[in-house]
Amino acid sequence: MSSHPYLALDSALAPPNPLYFRYSQIQAGNACLAHSHPWGQLSLISLGVMEIVVGEHRLVAPADYLIWVPAGMLHSAYNQQALDYTSIYVSEALARRLPPEPRLLELTPLLKALLADFCDRRVGHMTDDWDVHQAELLIEKLTRTRCQDSYLPMSQDKLLAPMLAALRSDPADPRTLAQWAQQLHSTERTLARRCVRELGMNFGQWRARLRLLRALAWLKGELPVQEIGWRLGYGSTSAFIAMFNRELGCSPQRYRQQLGGMGSERES
């Protein structure tokens, strides 16, 4: 447990029973200095990406993930874009069912529906037995969802490591998995299996995430959306926009507007 003081808001709260929801709207460029909570915390955002740092561990997650931080762990948070933010405190009993370390928890359609129901009704402390049952179901499903310690995992595997390093240096590298296999004196099937085993996802999913993170950095500047897509290796602006929408749930232009950037730029 951390000796760092808890947030002042936490000291006035009753313990979660078994969950407590707090809702806020966060402005672009918001930073929350190092702090901890007396209860485990799930962080839910409406769009874009949130970054939480726990010690030397940096968790970066888009809106399709919850960020889990166990009770008492000192952490700081940062978001680049304006967004709706929901903090969910978890009772000690239910928190024991979640990982003992900070993790990203993937939101399935059912998990999204359960959370949307709570958020639409602006549930805070729970006073209804049905809400308690729904909270227990939510945590039960979270114990079964995909759990990751990084949105863009790496690997020291002797075949994957050189491929991943090359792609990080040049996300626009157009080589297919079959072409990489030929260069690495392996087979496409072997590389595909190792991607799933080591990274928890296939080659195409990993490369899309890499390109997304590079796009987010460039969108803070003045590069046109079309040029960003081209620099990332997409054959058309529409293909780049489709990837961005799929990963973040919003278009590159909307993301840039949330950053306070160039609102008049066209995407096509």
Q: Is 133 found in the same domain as 73?
A: yes
206, 199 in Cβ contact below 8 A? yes
pLDDT tier at 5, thresholds 50, 70, 90 = low
Arithmetic mean of pLDDT, 104-119: 95
Question: Do 31 and 91 share a domain, yes or no?
Answer: yes
The reply to whether 242 and 164 lie within a common domain is: yes
CATH code of the domain covering residue 171: 1.10.10.60
Sheet of strand 40-45: strand arrangement: 19-26, 83-90, 40-45, 65-69, 103-106, 147-148
Per-residue pLDDT, 56 = 78
**Are the CB atoms for 105 and 90 separated by under 8 Å?**
no
Question: Tens of pLDDT along 153-179?
Answer: 888 899 999 999 999 999 999 999 999
* pLDDT for 1 beyond 60: no
**Residue 199: inside a domain, yes or no?**
yes
CA atoms in the 13 A half-sphere facing the CB of 22? 14
Query: Looking up tokens 């915390």, which residue turns up?
Result: 41
Residue that is last in its domain, among 113, 148, 183: 148
Whether 267 is in a domain gets the answer: no
- Domain of 116, in residue numbers: 8-148
pLDDT at 4: 58
The pLDDT of 147-154, averaged and rounded, is: 85
pLDDT, mean of residues 218-247: 92
In a domain, 155, yes or no: no
pLDDT at 244: 92
Asked whether residue 28 carries a pLDDT value surpassing 80, the answer given is no
The answer to whether the beta carbons of residues 191 and 159 sit under 8 Å apart is: yes
Mean pLDDT for 39-44 is 96
* Residue 105 pLDDT greater than 90, yes or no: yes
Q: What is the pTM of this model?
A: 0.73
Q: Could you give the CA distance from residue 8 to residue 89 in angstroms, rounded to a whole number?
A: 15
Judged against a pLDDT cut of 90, whether residue 258 lies above it is answered with no
**Whether residue 13 is found in the same domain as residue 123:** yes
Question: pLDDT-derived band of residue 200, with 50, 70 and 90 as boundaries?
Answer: confident
CATH code for position 41: 2.60.120.810
The domain boundary residue, chosen from 148, 170, 193: 148
pLDDT band at 46 (very low <50, low <70, confident <90, very high): confident
Cross-strand pairs, 6: 36
User: 10 Å Cβ neighbour count for 188?
Assistant: 15
Residue 263: per-residue pLDDT: 36
Number of structural domains (the chain) is 2
**Residues 139 and 178 sit within 8 Å (Cβ to Cβ):** no
Last residue of a domain, one of 148, 173, 189: 148
Domain identity same for 175 and 238: yes
Do 12 and 58 reside in the same domain of the chain?
Answer: yes
Q: Three-state secondary structure along 30-95?
A: EEEEEEECCCEEEEEECCCEEEEEECCEEEEEECCEEEEECCCCCEEEEECCCEEEEEEEECHHHH
> Mean pLDDT over residues 125-146, rounded?
96
The answer to whether residues 228 and 215 touch, using CB atoms and an 8 Å cutoff, is yes
141, 165: one domain: no
- Between 185 and 58, the more confident residue is 185
Which pLDDT score is estimated for 12? 85
Angstrom distances, CA of residue 63 to CA of 36, 83, 86, 183, 230: 22, 10, 11, 36, 25
* pLDDT at residue 230 tops 60: yes
